Amino acid sequence: MGTGTLKIDLDAVVANWRALDAMTASHVETTAVVKADAYGLGAARVAKALAKAGARKFFVAVAEEGAAVRQALGPGPEVCVFSGHMRGDTDMIHDLQLTPMVNSLEQLTRQIEALPGHAFGVQLDSGMGRLGMSPDEWAAVRHIALSQNPMLIMSHLACSDEPDHAMNALQLTRFKEMTDGIETPRSLAATGGTLLGSDYHFDLVRPGIGLYGGFPYQDAQNVVTLTLPVVQIREVAVGETVGYSNSWTADRPSKIATVSAGYADGLLRKLSDRALLWCGSDSCKLAGRVSMDLLTVDVTDLHETPRSLDILCEHQNADQLAEIAETIGYEILTSLGARYTKRYVEGHQ
């Protein structure tokens, strides 16, 4: 086996979804965000597992992703698109029964003219400054939008992974100002907002990263194990160097394992000389630069000769690896490359 194995625990995804669902009142619907191929873990399998567990609405970033999720799920569950109704999307939205979250008057007009009577939602900008109608734009067009019976009015929090950030309450106030008195179901919370408590839940919550075991959902079950095969092990004498630019030099007689995975597989070069890999519960450190297809790891202190090493596992999740690479767990997961063999664990609970 030349490539790494990405083991995805769908039972843990379902358990995380259920645990987040249990944090909200019974009238609040817990949906699932499966954009970016379910954060790199495979949207078709993840969506199917969650649909089986009871999720009835799924969110993706763009219509093309929605088409893939619809094909995996078949008719029934609602597939919602954050980027709304973009130019060229009409046929896909219609044929695959997608639900765009319209972001502007332009999108609202396109939706109503091209697909009258077709389900849609409205996205408002309560302060993130990224997607959605501004308060002024909404005030001008809300009577048109509401006359078409949108299925949802939503907005997104910019700072919800920091519970004490003043922006959370400010956006909550603005969202209420824009939507109070309207009968349409409302949604403000992603994972962070779900953890902020019931004030932020409204009618529907939209967790993504929490399903996949990531911060800010600290109590999540671990979902991902990434196991990399050892290609060869060499003895390195004191003073010998390893890898590009000679960045690592042996200061003792050492054993170096060359492992099959590199930056082409999403293991960022920032990890060079710093990241840990795991052999069971024993750790060993990267020695030298991450190269395109290979890592070199100092396994001198291991008691056994490893056939493979884990870089994501219960001892080191995506957030912990992200900290070493000075990024966030979201980026680690969504960067995981196409070369890994994906293996899904399901039905063990």
Ligand X SMILES: *Cc1c(COP(=O)(O)O)cnc(C)c1O
- For binding to ligand X (CB under 6 A), which residues are involved? 33, 35, 82, 156, 190-192, 206-210
For residue 158, count other CB atoms closer than 10 A to its CB: 17
* Nearest alpha carbon to residue 280 among 256, 231, 313, 258: 313
The residue written with tokens 């070199």 in the block is: 296
CA distance 57 to 146: 21
CB of 167 to ligand X, least distance (A): 15
Q: Which is nearer to ligand X, 216 or 262 (CB)?
A: 216
CA dihedral 137, 141, 145, 151 (to 10 degrees): 30
CB of 191 to ligand X, least distance (A): 3
Q: Which is nearer to ligand X, 57 or 156 (CB)?
A: 156
Q: Which is nearer to ligand X, 7 or 35 (CB)?
A: 35
User: Across 90-223, where does the E strand assignment appear?
Assistant: 98-102, 121-123, 153-154, 186-187, 204-205
- Could you tell me if 23 and 195 are in contact, meaning their C-beta atoms sit under 8 angstroms apart? yes
CB of 156 to ligand X, least distance (A): 4
DSSP 133: B
For residue 61, count other CB atoms closer than 10 A to its CB: 15
CB of 307 to ligand X, least distance (A): 35
CA distance 155 to 174: 10
CB of 182 to ligand X, least distance (A): 19
CB of 246 to ligand X, least distance (A): 40
Q: Which long-range contacts (CB under 8 A, 24 or more apart) does 48-53 make?
A: 48/72, 48/73, 49/10, 49/13, 49/14, 49/346, 50/13, 50/14, 50/17, 50/211, 51/76, 51/77, 52/14, 53/14, 53/17, 53/18
DSSP 298-334: E-TT-SS--SEEEEEBTTB-HHHHHHHTTS-HHHHHH
CB of 33 to ligand X, least distance (A): 4
The residue written with tokens 């939706």 in the block is: 111
Q: Which is nearer to ligand X, 103 or 296 (CB)?
A: 103
* From 7, 35, 48, 255, the catalytic residue: 35
Q: Which is nearer to ligand X, 80 or 302 (CB)?
A: 80
Q: Which is nearer to ligand X, 206 or 255 (CB)?
A: 206
* From 176, 244, 285, 342, the catalytic residue: 244
Q: Which is nearer to ligand X, 127 or 207 (CB)?
A: 207
Contacts of 15 (CB under 8 A, 6+ apart): 221, 349
For the chain, state the CA radius of gyration: 23
Reply yes or no on whether 35 is catalytic: yes
Q: Which residues are catalytic?
A: 35, 244
